[in-house]
């Protein structure tokens, strides 16, 4: 039968990354496509022990329905975690637990966006954020960046023209470019948001994945009036499969996001919440971060080295200080969708950059993930990619 | 600061049940408010052993990102489960895994509803469904019921007048009334949906919680054209806290719901999915159902007995053949919101029925849950409730 789908969904064809994932499930495929942390960095044995422990200590608390806000112990330990990690002055009442960081973006958009409302995003930006905004039928405009973040003149101009309700930014090791916004830019984002009355969504899944240099204070840490929604995730440093993140905002605003969550998944699964809580309380985080950052940074260096050695010299690429991604720009007449088609025939995958542009341009760009491939696969994969690019 | 919230959320004050939950967290409170299965029926020890096993057998599959559709083994075992439980001819491709049954309603509404679109629901109906429909800014109309389900003349009349996109029904042990739709009504729902081109959402979280009589075939089992979205849940028979359910629909329609899910929580948490999968494959379900149905039916009988003994004789109440709820109608001039205010002062809670009416009436009704209270608490709580009601 023919279905009368909603406007928000009828023309939507799905998230390119998640569809590439499925195509590339064969083990022989070398995938630089996803944003997966290193499989060998996942603390499987610790999680196994903790799961058994928490199910012994609090079976009913974990297996029965829980509060939408959080599994209570995690609300406390996560608030302490955010305080330490992002220097946000955060009490348990300022935070709630979400089913992965991405749900924070969804709930923030749900709380603010009517059909046709405007949002400003970075250019390029996280493709799932663009997909979420499309489901709320928002009008999305993007702001160009340099190595220090969004260009301030352009940001102000677009704030003036479009009066957006939201500004969406990933200040640390941005997805897809790997760039980190400077302290000065972050201050200015907040000033401009104040001047033009926009709310900032500060998406920070990668902040702790720093391989060199000093952490830059979060925008939320400078927010005194409740203008920033800060979203973080345990996916990249403990486990993506557990689906646990946290969102921090002023209580009035948080309440609306919690109401939005009541209507979607009731509450985040309690077993994963209890595991993350125990992991934090046992003090496993510093060692886990040291281990995973070591693996990731070695792989990033390896990929940098291989790109330098094999890619055509006219390819420009970033060297991030952390995170999971390298961003490359090829010769202007090359379309990376065509490159992908050829490289997948040789079992190598990446994400064509155009998926990260609100306006669908950036055809000559690509995002490369290094974190979940061995040195051997990085070497082999980059070599094949270089050969494929050279054919254009 | 003042926030410019979206229309969908600005006047929404939250789900009454979930808010009552929080108020009543004190252990001395006797709560007939929630829809929790018996805590002593939860298979905690089995889940503990399984969690440990699956994290040993497939740590990467569980801890890394997974496919939006499902943790692959569960997609298969859940399809078999639905086939057995609801007699739906269901292959793994016709089903996907959701973060609890309620997410199925959210994703179905997301796939179909534009602002102002019409939905028909039962009168009364599940309050979270009403809340979800409000977040999609739908126009909701309700159809009166008798003991066999929705009144067919009224259903047809409202289909004709309103041309709704969706009909939402809970045919087994309905929430809140406990009623089960007859086979004849189910056939007619499908015929009428066909005639007036509506999609049926068949919400079935309670179907296996039958304490007497024979199962009635699901509407989905009679659907040959893809007109029904069937939603089920593992919450009531294994564990609500794990947040796992399943939705069955025609592939074209399923695809849109999966795209909707990509944009909310990426995928359902894999550890819970792996636990449910193993639980099903180990064949624990029949024994678990027998155990939980025994506990629940004894408690239902106890509550029936206590109501009969203590409630004023002019109170009408249902005697369901399964599920989790008894529905009571008090004298017409009594407002159960006032009754609740008084009963909570004596530490007894229930849900006032008006929350389940799309039009906000039904002021003299109440929903009573029996499954998660001991005999002693049922006796004490019903006695206090009876005394409270008698004061009006």
* A10-30 tens-digit pLDDT: 988 876 666 666 666 688 899
Q: Does B374 touch chain A (CB under 8 A)?
A: no
What's residue A23's pLDDT?
A: 65
What's residue B27's pLDDT?
A: 84
Q: Which residue of B has its CA nearest to A56?
A: B48
CA of A312, closest CA in chain B: separation in Å? 33
Task: Closest CB to B1: pick one of A226, A242, A262.
Answer: A226
* Conformational region of residue B298, where left means phi above 0, alpha means psi within -120 to 50, and beta covers everything else: alpha
Q: Which residues of chain A have pLDDT under 50?
A: none
Alpha-carbon gap, residue B334 to A139, rounded angstroms:
49
Residue spans of alpha helices (H) in chain B: 7-10, 16-23, 44-57, 59-63, 72-86, 101-112, 127-135, 152-162, 183-195, 251-262, 270-281, 285-310, 336-345, 375-390
What's residue A22's pLDDT?
A: 64
Residues of chain B with CATH 3.40.640.10: 66-281
Q: Does A277 touch chain B (CB under 8 A)?
A: no
Q: Which residue of B has its CA nearest to A24?
A: B67
State yes or no: pLDDT of B21 exceeds 70: no
Residues of A in Cβ contact (< 8 Å) with B113? 6
Q: Does B11 touch chain A (CB under 8 A)?
A: no
Interface with chain B: mutation pick from A40, A264, A372, highest number of B CBs within 10 Å: A264
State yes or no: pLDDT of B110 exceeds 70: yes
Alpha-carbon gap, residue A239 to B201, rounded angstroms:
34
Q: Does domain A7-43+286-390 have CATH number 3.90.1150.10?
A: yes
What confidence tier does B14 reach under pLDDT thresholds 50, 70, 90?
confident
Contact B64 A256 (CB under 8 A): no
CA distances from A182 to A176, A179, B15, B248 (A): 17, 9, 41, 48
The pLDDT tens digits of the residues spanning B123-143 come to 999 999 999 999 999 999 999
Task: Closest CB to B6: pick one of A114, A225, A268.
Answer: A114
**CATH code that applies to domain A58-281:** 3.40.640.10
What's residue B18's pLDDT?
A: 65
Is the Cβ–Cβ distance between B351 and B17 less than 8 Å?
yes
Rounded (10°) CA dihedral A187, A189, A195, A200: -120
Alpha-carbon gap, residue A277 to B156, rounded angstroms:
52
Q: Does B38 touch chain A (CB under 8 A)?
A: no
Alpha-carbon gap, residue A171 to A181, rounded angstroms:
5
CATH value of B66-281 in 3.40.50.10860, 2.60.40.1930, 1.10.357.10, 3.40.640.10 = 3.40.640.10
Q: Which residue of B has its CA nearest to A268?
A: B243
What confidence tier does B11 reach under pLDDT thresholds 50, 70, 90?
confident
Q: Which residue of B has its CA nearest to A35?
A: B65
CA distances from B358 to A66, B138, B353, B361 (A): 26, 11, 11, 8
The pLDDT tens digits of the residues spanning B360-375 come to 899 999 999 999 999 9
Nearest to A138 by CA among A201, A230, A206: A201
Residues of chain A with CATH 3.40.640.10: 58-281
Contact B272 A267 (CB under 8 A): no
Contact A243 B8 (CB under 8 A): no
Q: Does A233 touch chain B (CB under 8 A)?
A: no
Task: Closest CB to B9: pick one of A5, A56, A111.
Answer: A111
Alpha-carbon gap, residue A223 to A377, rounded angstroms:
43
Residues of A in Cβ contact (< 8 Å) with B52? 48, 51-52
State yes or no: pLDDT of B22 exceeds 90: no
Helix (H, G, I), strand (E, B) or coil at B366: strand
pLDDT average, residue stretch B14-42: 82
Task: Closest CB to A55: pick one of B48, B61, B260.
Answer: B48
What's residue B16's pLDDT?
A: 67
∠ at Cα A21 (A18, A24), nearest 5°? 155
Q: Does A294 touch chain B (CB under 8 A)?
A: no
Alpha-carbon gap, residue B222 to A206, rounded angstroms:
49
What's residue B115's pLDDT?
A: 97
State yes or no: pLDDT of B57 exceeds 80: yes
Taking only residues 95 to 124 of chain A, the set having a beta carbon closer than 8 angstroms to any beta carbon of chain B reads: 99-100, 102-103, 106, 110-115, 117
Contact A263 B132 (CB under 8 A): yes
Alpha-carbon gap, residue B336 to B311, rounded angstroms:
14
CA of A391, closest CA in chain B: separation in Å? 33
pLDDT average, residue stretch B361-390: 97
Alpha-carbon gap, residue B315 to B386, rounded angstroms:
10
Residues of chain B with CATH 3.90.1150.10: 7-43+286-390
């Amino acid at each position: 039968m023919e279905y009368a789908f909603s406007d928000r969904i009828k023309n939507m064809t799905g998230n390119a990354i998640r569809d590439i994932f499925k195509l590339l499930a064969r083990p022989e495929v070398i995938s630089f496509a996803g944003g997966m942390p290193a499989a060998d960095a996942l603390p499987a044995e610790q999680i196994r022990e903790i799961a058994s422990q928490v199910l012994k200590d609090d079976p009913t608390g974990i297996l029965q329905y829980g509060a939408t806000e959080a599994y209570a112990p995690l609300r406390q330990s996560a608030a302490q975690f955010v305080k330490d990690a992002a220097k946000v002055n955060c009490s348990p009442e300022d935070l709630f637990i979400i089913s992965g960081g991405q749900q924070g973006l969804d709930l923030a958009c749900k709380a603010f966006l009517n059909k046709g409302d405007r949002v400003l995003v970075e250019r390029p930006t996280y493709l799932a954020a663009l997909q979420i905004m499309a489901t709320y039928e928002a009008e999305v405009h993007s702001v160009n960046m340099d190595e220090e973040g969004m260009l301030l003149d352009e940001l102000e101009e677009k704030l003036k023209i479009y009066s957006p309700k939201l500004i969406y930014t990933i200040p640390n090791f941005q997805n897809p470019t790997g760039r980190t916004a400077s302290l000065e830019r972050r201050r200015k984002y907040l000033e401009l948001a104040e001047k033009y009355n926009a709310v900032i969504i500060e998406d920070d899944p990668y902040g702790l994945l720093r391989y060199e240099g000093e952490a830059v204070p979060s925008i939320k840490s400078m927010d005194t009036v409740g203008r920033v929604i800060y979203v973080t995730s345990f996916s990249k440093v403990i486990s993506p499969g557990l689906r646990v993140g946290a969102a921090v905002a002023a209580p009035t605003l948080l309440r609306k996001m919690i109401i939005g969550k009541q209507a979607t998944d009731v509450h985040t699964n309690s077993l994963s919440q209890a595991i993350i809580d125990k992991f934090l309380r046992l003090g496993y985080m510093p060692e886990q971060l040291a281990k995973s950052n070591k693996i990731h940074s070695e792989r990033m260096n390896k990929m940098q080295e291989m790109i330098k050695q094999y890619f055509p010299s006219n390819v420009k690429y970033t060297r991030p200080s952390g995170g999971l991604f390298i961003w490359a720009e090829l010769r202007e007449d090359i379309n990376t969708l065509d490159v992908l088609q050829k490289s997948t025939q040789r079992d190598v995958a990446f994400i064509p950059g155009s998926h990260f542009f609100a306006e669908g341009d950036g055809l000559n760009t690509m995002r490369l993930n290094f974190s979940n491939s061995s040195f051997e696969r990085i070497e082999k994969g980059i070599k094949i990619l270089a050969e494929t690019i050279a054919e254009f």
